[in-house]
Structure 1
Amino acid sequence: MLAIDGGNSKTDVALVAADGSLLASVRGPGTNQEHHGVDGAMRILGEIVAEAAAQAGVTSEGLVARHISSCLAGADLPEEEEQLAAALRRRGWSLTSAVANDTFAVLRAGLTPSPGQPAWGVAVTCGAGINCAGLAPDGRTTRFLALGRLTGDWGGGWYLGQEVMWWAMRAEDGRGPDTLLRPATAAYFGLPTVRDVAIGVHLGRIARAELLGLTTVLFETASAGDTAARDLLERLAEEVTAMAVTAMARLGLTGPGALGIPVVLGGGLLAARHPLLTAAIERRLA
Structure 2
Amino acid sequence: MGVGTSVLAIDAGNSKTDVAVVAADGEVVGAARGGGFQPPQVGVETAVDVLAEAVARAFAEAGVDSVGHVSACLANADLPVEERELADALRRRAWGPSVDVRNDTFAILRAGLLEDAEPRGVAVVCGAGINCVGMLPDGRTARFPAIGRLSGDWGGGGGLAEEALWHAARAEDGRGEATALRETLPAHFGLDSMYALIEALHLGRIPAVRRHELTPVLFATAAAGDGVARSLVDRMADEVVAMSAVALERLGLLAEEAPVLLGGSVLAARHPQLDNRIAALLAERAPKAEPRVVVARPVLGAALLGLDQVGAPTGVHARVREQYESDA
The one-letter code matched in structure 2 to 1:18 is A
Which whole-Å CA distance do the structure 2 matches of 1:180 and 1:110 have between them?
37
1:57 is aligned, of 63, 69, 77, to: 63
State whether residues 131 and 144 of structure 1, in contact with CA within 8 Å, keep that contact through their aligned partners in structure 2: yes
Partner of 1:76: 78
Partner of 1:39: 45
Which whole-Å CA distance do the structure 2 matches of 1:212 and 1:285 have between them?
27
Partner of 2:274: 277
1:86 matches 2:92: no
Which whole-Å CA distance do the structure 2 matches of 1:25 and 1:242 have between them?
36
The one-letter code matched in structure 1 to 2:225 is G
- Once the two structures are superposed, the pairs formed by residues 202-241 of structure 1 within 5 Å of their partners are 202-241=202-241
State whether residues 158 and 215 of structure 2, in contact with CA within 8 Å, keep that contact through their aligned partners in structure 1: no
Which whole-Å CA distance do the structure 2 matches of 1:180 and 1:56 have between them?
51
1:12 is aligned, of 18, 26, 34, to: 18
Which whole-Å CA distance do the structure 1 matches of 2:129 and 2:166 have between them?
18
Q: Secondary structure at the match of 1:91?
A: coil
The offset of 1:278, in angstroms, is: 0.8
Which whole-Å CA distance do the structure 2 matches of 1:190 and 1:274 have between them?
25
The one-letter code matched in structure 2 to 1:106 is I
Q: Secondary structure at the match of 2:43?
A: helix
Pairwise CA RMSD: 1.2
- Once the two structures are superposed, the pairs formed by residues 188-199 of structure 1 within 5 Å of their partners are 188-199=188-199
Which whole-Å CA distance do the structure 2 matches of 1:27 and 1:47 have between them?
9
Partner of 2:290: none
Partner of 2:106: 104
Which whole-Å CA distance do the structure 1 matches of 2:188 and 2:274 have between them?
21
State whether residues 127 and 157 of structure 1, in contact with CA within 8 Å, keep that contact through their aligned partners in structure 2: yes
TM-score (norm 1): 0.94
Q: Which residues of structure 1 form unaligned runs of 5+?
A: none
Partner of 2:286: none
Higher RCO (CA-CA < 8 Å; seq separation 6+):
2
Please give the per-residue CA displacement for 1:18-77, whole angstroms capped at 9, x wherever unaligned.
Answer: 11111122222111312321111111111100111122223xxxx421110001011112
The offset of 1:138, in angstroms, is: 2.6
Which whole-Å CA distance do the structure 1 matches of 2:101 and 2:166 have between them?
37
Partner of 1:264: 261
The offset of 1:169, in angstroms, is: 1.0
State whether residues 129 and 156 of structure 2, in contact with CA within 8 Å, keep that contact through their aligned partners in structure 1: yes
Identity %: 55
Which whole-Å CA distance do the structure 2 matches of 1:36 and 1:157 have between them?
21
Which whole-Å CA distance do the structure 2 matches of 1:154 and 1:146 have between them?
9
Q: Which residues of structure 2 form unaligned runs of 5+?
A: 1-6, 284-328
Partner of 2:287: none
State whether residues 265 and 271 of structure 1, in contact with CA within 8 Å, keep that contact through their aligned partners in structure 2: yes
Which whole-Å CA distance do the structure 1 matches of 2:41 and 2:272 have between them?
32
The offset of 1:174, in angstroms, is: 1.6
Which whole-Å CA distance do the structure 2 matches of 1:45 and 1:211 have between them?
24
Please give the per-residue CA displacement for 1:80-108, whole angstroms capped at 9, x wherever unaligned.
Answer: 11111111111111111110011101101
Q: Secondary structure at the match of 2:142?
A: strand
Please give the per-residue CA displacement for 1:183-204, whole angstroms capped at 9, x wherever unaligned.
Answer: 1101111112111111122222
Please give the per-residue CA displacement for 1:177-221, whole angstroms capped at 9, x wherever unaligned.
Answer: 221211110111111211111112222222222211110111111
Partner of 1:135: 135
Which whole-Å CA distance do the structure 2 matches of 1:119 and 1:229 have between them?
37
The offset of 1:139, in angstroms, is: 2.2
The offset of 1:164, in angstroms, is: 0.7
Partner of 2:69: 67
State whether residues 126 and 266 of structure 1, in contact with CA within 8 Å, keep that contact through their aligned partners in structure 2: yes
The one-letter code matched in structure 1 to 2:54 is I
The offset of 1:112, in angstroms, is: 1.2
Which whole-Å CA distance do the structure 2 matches of 1:169 and 1:41 have between them?
34
Which whole-Å CA distance do the structure 1 matches of 2:32 and 2:112 have between them?
20
Q: Secondary structure at the match of 1:97?
A: strand
| Count of matched residue pairs | 277
